[in-house]
Structure formats: C-alpha cells, structure tokens
Structure 1
C-alpha cells in the first residue's frame, strides 16, 4: 500500500477500533469530528434554511453566481459540518463556487426520510433566495453522495427543476449492498466491509424502511428516472468495497441516456479527497471535480443566453 495511504488508514482504524457495542452515538460523532475536522481556509456563515441548519462556505475566488449544495458523509449516523469543513472549503475552491453545507438530521434519532426531507427543505430555501437551478450543483461524499442523488430523484418525481450537475465521492448508491465489489474488494478495503454497510443501512431505515426504494438506493431507480438526471461525475477509490455503487450506477445511467463519468483512482480508499495535504491524488481529484462543475455551470449559462 502507498505509505501515505497506510498512515491514513492506521489513523482512521484507531478511531474505529475504540468503538464497541456499548459506545454511544454521541461518542462516535465526537470521535469522528475529532478525526476529520480541520481549519477551513474559507469564510463561514451560519444560516437557517427553512428550519435546516446550514452554512455558507466561501473559499477565496468563489463566485457569487455559482452554488454547490453539499451533503456530508458518515453513514447517516456520524459526520457533521465540522468534520467536513476542510473538504467543503476545498470543493468551494476547486469549483470557484459558494458551498451551501446542509446539516441534515441523523439516525438513529431521525430515520429515513428525515435526511431527505431536510435536503428538500434546504433546496427550496435556496430557490426562494432567487438562485436559479442552472446556477446550482449538488455534491456529497459516501452517504451524502447518495443523499444528493436521492434529492435529484425526489425533485424529478415532483416535477421541480433540477440542478446543473452532480459530483459524488465514494457515493453510497445501493443500501442493499448487492454489488460485486463487496466481495472482490473485501481484502483490499481496510475499513468498510459488507456487515458494517448493512448495519448502517438498517440503522438509517429502521424496521419500516425499504432499502430497495430508489429514494433510498438511487442505483435502483428506473431507466426513465436515471436518463433524466443532469450531468454527473462519480469518483471512487480502487480499494473500496463500494466501487460497485459507482460503477453500476454510472453504467445504468449511461444506458438510460444520462451523461455520467466514472473515475476510479488507483490505490485510493474511501473518500480519499479528505486528505489533500497527504495525498497528491486527493488534490488532483478535487481539481478534476471542480473543473467538471465549472464546465457544467458554464454550459448552463450558455444555454440560458442562447436557448
């Protein structure tokens, strides 16, 4: 393994290794924030988006007329605006856009559809601020990437305008955990194994949730739903058990007629973009994602000027 990747894995594994059956969710969240939180090189402003706590995150050079709505990862149980502050500032810098960071409710206190309801509320608040959908992209990592896709499908089902693009990092698109990579990558992924993924899905959905609902598992959306989605970029590490979540989603979306790009980064692990100071690949992936969003913003602007 890449020595820098190995050092990161050891650090993350130390945190996971302290968790036991009796470890409280509050302690897990505190540990997660301590593990990932870093000072963001950006202006941060708290905002109430229709009752959903959010933050505006603006890196130097961010354009007022570009917005990325971002959903953090953490299996719908951990993760926060603090744990992802640096990553979201990097997204703002890479895309030269303001980031609206959404602090959606977490399980087990708030099971599905609480997170999706919050995503919809934040989106409608943003629309109420006069921001056009063509000026907006959605993005997220891990569970947050899946939630961003669920938001797109929910907007589509309601006949509401969609944003201009989607950028997902290690997006969790299949809560049934049925992809082949859960087996083929099991020896390569140092942390995320299928039993953990299934347990997180169960905790998010509760007894009444259905993992096969496309609003839960976007991978299972119909071709008609997938084909109407905006341009998408999915990035994933080669060593991840959730590689299939991105591979299979991109394949289905392309077959349905959507514009979907897949980037599998050699030797990389889950949401490696969180470590740009240690991994050159993380910085390169962030730059690629930012360029993708910038291109989609420009294309949307051109379409508006020349319909």
Structure 2
C-alpha cells in the first residue's frame, strides 16, 4: 500500500475511523447505516446561504432538488456500497455543486440493499433521469458512480444520453486481479475484503452483468464523455484506470485523474484537505464543462 504522509489526509482518516470503525462493514445494515450517518454528520458543511432546496418524488422516487430549474440538470447518485447513504449523507456535496456551477442538482434517494436487490437501484436512477426530460450531466461517487456509468450503458439502446458522466472513485465491477486490489487491500476507509460484502448485499445469487459491473461491457462506443477520478490509496483505483482505457479504445472522450495520497471517500475532506479541495474543484470544472455552463 502506498504510504500516506500528508498530515491533512492522516487527520481525515483518523477522524473518519473514530466514527466509523473498520468492523462496521460487518455489522447489520441498520447498524452500518447508523455508523455511517454519524460519521457523515461530523464532516457536514451545511448549505450555501440562499440556495433553495426541496424534497419531492420524481417518477415515484424520493429526490432532493437544489436550486431553481436550469436548462441543463445535474443528476447525483450517492455512494455507500449500495447499503448506506442517502439524501442527508451527501446533502452538502450536492448543495455545493449547485452553488458552484449554477446548475440545478437532483439527488436520487435510490432503494438500498440488501432490502432491495439489483436492479432496483439502477431502475430508480433511470426512472428519475427519464422523468427529468432535459439535457444533463450524471454524477456519482463510489457505488453511485457505478450506477451512473450503468445508466449510460443502458441508455445506448433507447433513451437520452447524458452530456457527460462524472465518476468519482467508482467501483465498476473489477474482478480483483488488478494491482490496486492487492496493493491497497488494507487501505484505510475501504479494504478489498469489504467489497465482497457489498456485492453480496446488492446481487445475492445473481451473476454480475454489465449494468452491475460496467467493466464487463464489451461495447462502450457511443457513451457520454467521461471524467473519472480515482483515489490512489483505494482498492478500487484500477477500476477507474481500466474503464478509462476501455472508453478511450471505443472512441469516447475521457479524462482519468488519479489523486495521490487520498483514500476512498475523500470528498468529505474537501474542507480540511488541500488535495481533496483541489480534486473537488476539478470535478466542478468537469461538470460545468460538460454542461456548457458559461461561468467557467
């Protein structure tokens, strides 16, 4: 595993681990969610003053809407291994995206595993995307990044392809053979051993397909342009590398950015870590660029 020497990153890891112990991933879904929500609340930054925020159902799915309607929308799918997370855990992230880009952001409260197995999650995200019925950029972190990547794959057959896809430290269904799964097997905040539990909760006895594991897709031609950012100290790092290579080979415009000394989940450190802050800034630029927002 790469050695982390950056003091800001080390402080973030220590604070996270104090609230979200390593054995939480082996706890029940209910207990895991309690730990996760407690941890997220420690890093919550609030919302920019004056930003209108409303909750309402879209296509029968609970969503949170940030900002007034704009011609281009941002759809956000949260991370959390499909088991934890929701509108509260990523509330300030979505609010800051809306404020910084001037775009309306719609966060999707998709159904969680193991109570709901795949494809309930991609069904919820896809239903919201279709109901929005306007150009947009799809953004997700971790499990949410997999969902928006899968959404783009699903929309090739029929549907409105997003203007761009932004994948933040995504898990894309790598088979565990890539170097990062071994180099970062005991990485802070996400270990390789945790991934099997997340997959089991999501799929049960199902065999992975390209919609649950986009790296399995044989044809990536015609997908939305992509900005992919990975954490270097993360077992999932090489999923980003490998998916970016497959997109490029298919002729899809793609940028892959790997963040040295940062672990999985580092968006929560954007207020305390210069590295995380710069990465979040690059994500905001990518969203704005895909949307054509003039202020950038």
Q: Give the structure-1-normalised TM-score.
A: 0.87
Q: 5+ unaligned residues in a row in structure 1: which ranges?
A: 301-307
RMSD between superposed Cα atoms in Å: 2.0
Shift of 1:93: 2.9
Separation (CA, whole Å) in 1 of partners of 2:121 and 2:10: 33
Whether 2:95 is the aligned partner of 1:98: answer no
Whether 2:63 is the aligned partner of 1:51: answer no
**Contact 1:177/1:197, CA 8 A, preserved across alignment:** no
Q: 5+ unaligned residues in a row in structure 2: which ranges?
A: none
Task: Report the counterpart of residue 207 of structure 2 in structure 1.
Answer: 210
Shift of 1:19: 4.2
**Contact 2:24/2:32, CA 8 A, preserved across alignment:** no
Task: Report the counterpart of residue 305 of structure 1 in structure 2.
Answer: none
Whether 2:121 is the aligned partner of 1:115: answer yes
Whether 2:22 is the aligned partner of 1:15: answer no
Separation (CA, whole Å) in 1 of partners of 2:223 and 2:182: 29
**Contact 1:227/1:257, CA 8 A, preserved across alignment:** yes
Shift of 1:16: 3.4
Separation (CA, whole Å) in 1 of partners of 2:238 and 2:116: 28
Shift of 1:179: 2.6
Deviations for 1:40-87, whole angstroms, at most 9, x for unmatched residues?
Answer: 2243100111110001023xxx77223110000000000111011111
Shift of 1:18: 7.0
Separation (CA, whole Å) in 2 of partners of 1:173 and 1:216: 8
**Contact 1:236/1:271, CA 8 A, preserved across alignment:** no
Separation (CA, whole Å) in 1 of partners of 2:114 and 2:252: 34
Shift of 1:119: 0.8
Task: Report the counterpart of residue 32 of structure 2 in structure 1.
Answer: 28
Separation (CA, whole Å) in 1 of partners of 2:232 and 2:244: 15
Separation (CA, whole Å) in 1 of partners of 2:124 and 2:247: 25
Separation (CA, whole Å) in 2 of partners of 1:177 and 1:11: 28
Whether 2:288 is the aligned partner of 1:294: answer yes
